[in-house]
């Protein structure tokens, strides 16, 4: 199994249930809290509808007709300016370690730039080490405090990248 076996494509309504399972399984696997994270977001069950806006989009990673990961971009909540947020980036173990994370980030940031965004912000957790390493590798730098107001008070690592 190589990265060629995986397809990155825009989310479709039929992907909602599978993507919600991916998000919640990864949150539980990482030992993250259910409160103050995407676990309890209403949007987690309606990913297609949530990202079906002019300033947002979401890509899923598909393997053998099954959604195994994804990530999206949306305008940063409660923030003025041209900053977007990399949101809900989750991969099941089968999709990890194959370069798909970098490929998906690159795909997202390229499209974000075409929508007029100048910076991309993200939030994660200290013990999600593989994710933090991936973000750093892709040019994200740490911030001292959060930007906007995402409602994810359990995420206390904040990063940004200029597009």
- The 10s digit of each residue's pLDDT in 65-97 is 999 999 999 999 889 999 999 999 999 999 999
Q: Give the Cα separation of 68 and 66 in Å (integer).
A: 6
Q: Which two tokens stand for residue 52?
A: 């079906």
By the 8 A CB rule, do 106 and 156 touch?
A: no
Distances (CA, A) of 20 to 119, 145, 146: 27, 28, 25
Torsion of CA 48, 73, 109, 124, to 10 degrees: -120
What is the model's pLDDT at position 70? 98
What are the pLDDT digits (tens) for 131-150?
999 999 999 999 999 998 88
What is the model's pLDDT at position 154? 76
Model confidence at 152, pLDDT cuts 50, 70, 90, reads: confident
What are the pLDDT digits (tens) for 15-57?
999 999 999 999 999 888 888 888 888 889 999 999 999 999 9
99 in helix, strand or coil? Answer: coil
| Nearest residue to 102 (alpha-carbon basis) of 6, 23, 22, 27 | 6
What is the model's pLDDT at position 88? 93
Percent of the chain topping pLDDT 90: 77
Domains of the chain, each with CATH number or no CATH: 3-162 (3.40.630.30)
Distance, CA of 99 to chain centre: 15
The DSSP-derived string for 139-152 is T-EEESS--S--S-
Q: Give the Cα separation of 75 and 83 in Å (integer).
A: 6
Statement: the pTM of the whole predicted model exceeds 0.85: yes
Model confidence at 101, pLDDT cuts 50, 70, 90, reads: very high
């Amino acid at each position: 199994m190589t990265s060629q076996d995986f397809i990155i494509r825009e989310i479709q309504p039929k992907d909602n249930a599978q993507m919600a399972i991916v998000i919640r399984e990864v949150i539980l696997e990482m030992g993250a809290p259910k409160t103050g994270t995407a676990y309890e977001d209403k949007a987690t069950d309606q990913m297609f509808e949530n990202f079906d806006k002019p300033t947002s989009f979401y890509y899923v990673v598909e393997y053998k007709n099954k959604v195994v990961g994804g990530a999206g971009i949306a305008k940063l909540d409660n923030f003025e300016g041209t900053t977007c947020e990399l949101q809900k980036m989750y991969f099941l173990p089968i999709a990890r370690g194959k370069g798909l994370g970098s490929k998906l980030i690159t795909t997202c940031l390229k499209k974000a730039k075409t929508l007029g965004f100048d910076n991309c912000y993200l939030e994660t957790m200290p013990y999600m080490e593989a994710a933090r390493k991936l973000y750093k590798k892709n040019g994200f730098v740490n911030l001292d405090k959060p930007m906007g107001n995402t409602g994810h008070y359990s995420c206390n690592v904040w990063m940004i990248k200029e597009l």
